[in-house]
């Protein structure tokens, strides 16, 4: 536990015991063909991993990695997979194309509003969004899974925060992203978090900040060194943790409101809505 393993994600995952990990968060290379230079960013080129495979090979490898993750994560466990829609020669390539071929149950598609477009061209409207897929491993074929606690469920399916800009890795996600994923699932319980494409180590830092164990995998010695340096500075990011935790708070749960006779969403016509009802609605948020 609490280590980063160098090697190919698929091969390393094969060596991990079944049902031994609580959850995970990752963002793999997007296979953008290393030719997507825009006005705001350079071409994304990784230290060792190729981001220029045939789409067939890329998707096949992603399915294999995701199925190994399904095997090692415990029943009832979750995995958050950050990716995006891409276009090649006018054809849209959507992550659902390969996610639908895995063993995972797709529990939710979350939109990450990055607030800024990395590649600005006139072919389409500025693409400021990416996707975060909440993948779920059913427990005893119960595909719905356990409800989120109220303080987590109050967050919407659109997450709005900017990408990381102060990181030497070519494609890091911000610390807020894995913090939200991990805290919403594990809450105050302790577990082990995995990231098979560890990159600069953001998922591991989030896990450590929240008091969890972690396992990271990366093929690049340079990125592993970068992750280790990031982990040494974990305590410096307490303010980001506190900012995220502050978003996971409710004054009164649905059941508490119901028991106390307060407004819980019962339909009323617009003509019957009064100030007190409107106030009750607003107090839910």
Q: What's the CATH number where 201 sits?
A: 3.40.50.150
Kindly state whether residues 47 and 77 are assigned to the same domain.
yes
Mapping DSSP onto H, E and C, the string for 229-240 reads: HHHHCHHHHHHH
Kindly state whether residues 187 and 261 are assigned to the same domain.
no
Q: Is it the case that residue 194 has pLDDT exceeding 90? A: yes
Residue 153 and residue 245: Cα distance in Å, rounded? 13
Amino acid 276: pLDDT:
46
Opening angle at CA 268, ends 263 and 272, nearest 5: 105
Mapping DSSP onto H, E and C, the string for 1-69 reads: CCEEEECCHHHHHCCCCCCCEEEEEECCCCCCCCCCCCCCCCCCCCCCCCCCCCHHHHHHHHHHHHHHH
Beta-strand relationship, 21-26 and 73-83: parallel
Kindly state whether residues 202 and 269 are assigned to the same domain.
no
Q: What residue has token string 């981001």?
A: 51
Q: Pick 255 or 89 by higher pLDDT.
A: 89
Locate the DSSP E strands across 200-248.
213-218
Lowest mean pLDDT among 44-53, 192-201, 232-241: 44-53
Question: Do 83 and 130 meet the contact criterion of CB atoms below 8 Å apart?
Answer: yes
Model pLDDT for residues 119-128, shown as the tens digit of each residue: 667 788 888 9
Q: Quick one: tokens of 243? A: 């900012």
Residue 246: pLDDT band by 50, 70, 90 thresholds?
A: very high
Question: Do 73 and 21 meet the contact criterion of CB atoms below 8 Å apart?
Answer: yes
Residue 18 and residue 189: Cα distance in Å, rounded? 21
Amino acid 119: pLDDT:
66
Residue 95 and residue 131: Cα distance in Å, rounded? 9
Kindly state whether residues 142 and 273 are assigned to the same domain.
no
- Look at residue 107 and give its three-state secondary structure: strand
Q: Is it the case that residue 279 has pLDDT exceeding 60? A: no
Model pLDDT for residues 221-232, shown as the tens digit of each residue: 999 999 999 999
Residue 16 and residue 124: Cα distance in Å, rounded? 43
Kindly state whether residues 34 and 106 are assigned to the same domain.
yes
Kindly state whether residues 28 and 102 are assigned to the same domain.
yes
Q: Is it the case that residue 285 has pLDDT exceeding 50? A: no
What's the first-to-final CA gap in the chain, in angstroms? Answer: 38
Kindly state whether residues 185 and 273 are assigned to the same domain.
no
The secondary structure of residue 163, as a DSSP letter, is P
Model pLDDT for residues 21-65, shown as the tens digit of each residue: 999 999 999 987 555 554 444 555 545 555 568 999 999 999 999
Q: Is it the case that residue 210 has pLDDT exceeding 70? A: yes
Which domain does 266 fall in, by range?
Answer: 252-285
260 by Cβ neighbours in 10 Å (0-12 / 13-18 / 19+) ranks as exposed
Kindly state whether residues 211 and 282 are assigned to the same domain.
no
Model confidence, pTM:
0.84
Amino acid 205: pLDDT:
97
Residue 27 and residue 24: Cα distance in Å, rounded? 11
Kindly state whether residues 197 and 109 are assigned to the same domain.
yes
Kindly state whether residues 47 and 117 are assigned to the same domain.
yes
Model pLDDT for residues 132-162, shown as the tens digit of each residue: 999 999 998 788 888 999 999 999 999 999 9
Amino acid 264: pLDDT:
63
Kindly state whether residues 29 and 102 are assigned to the same domain.
yes
Q: Quick one: tokens of 141? A: 């074929």
Q: How many domains are contained in the chain? A: 2
């Amino acid at each position: 536990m609490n280590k980063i393993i160098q090697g190919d994600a698929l091969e390393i995952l094969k060596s991990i015991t079944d049902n031994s990990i609580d959850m995970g968060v990752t963002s793999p290379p997007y296979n953008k063909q290393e030719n997507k230079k825009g006005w705001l960013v350079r071409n994304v080129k990784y230290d060792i991993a190729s981001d220029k495979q045939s789409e067939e090979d890329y998707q096949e490898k992603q399915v294999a990695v995701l199925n190994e993750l399904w095997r090692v994560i415990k029943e009832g466990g979750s995995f958050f997979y950050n990716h995006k829609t891409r276009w090649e020669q006018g054809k849209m390539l959507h992550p659902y194309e390969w996610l639908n071929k895995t063993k995972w149950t797709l529990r939710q598609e979350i939109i990450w509003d990055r607030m800024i477009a990395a590649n600005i061209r006139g072919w389409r409207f500025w693409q400021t969004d990416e996707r975060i897929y909440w993948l779920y491993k059913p427990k005893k074929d119960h595909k719905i899974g356990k409800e989120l606690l109220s303080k987590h469920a109050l967050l919407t399916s659109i997450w709005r925060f900017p990408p990381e800009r102060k990181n030497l890795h070519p494609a890091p996600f911000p610390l807020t992203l894995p913090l939200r994923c991990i805290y919403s699932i594990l809450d105050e319980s302790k577990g082990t978090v995995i990231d098979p494409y560890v990159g600069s180590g953001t998922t591991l830092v989030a896990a450590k900040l929240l008091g969890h164990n972690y396992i990271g995998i990366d093929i690049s010695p340079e990125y592993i060194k970068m992750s280790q340096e990031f982990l040494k500075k974990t305590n410096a990011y307490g303010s980001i943790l506190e900012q995220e935790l502050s978003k996971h708070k409710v004054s009164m749960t649905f059941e508490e409101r119901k028991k106390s006779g307060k407004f819980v969403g019962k339909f009323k016509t617009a003509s019957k809505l009064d100030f007190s009802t409107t106030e009750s609605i607003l107090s839910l948020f």
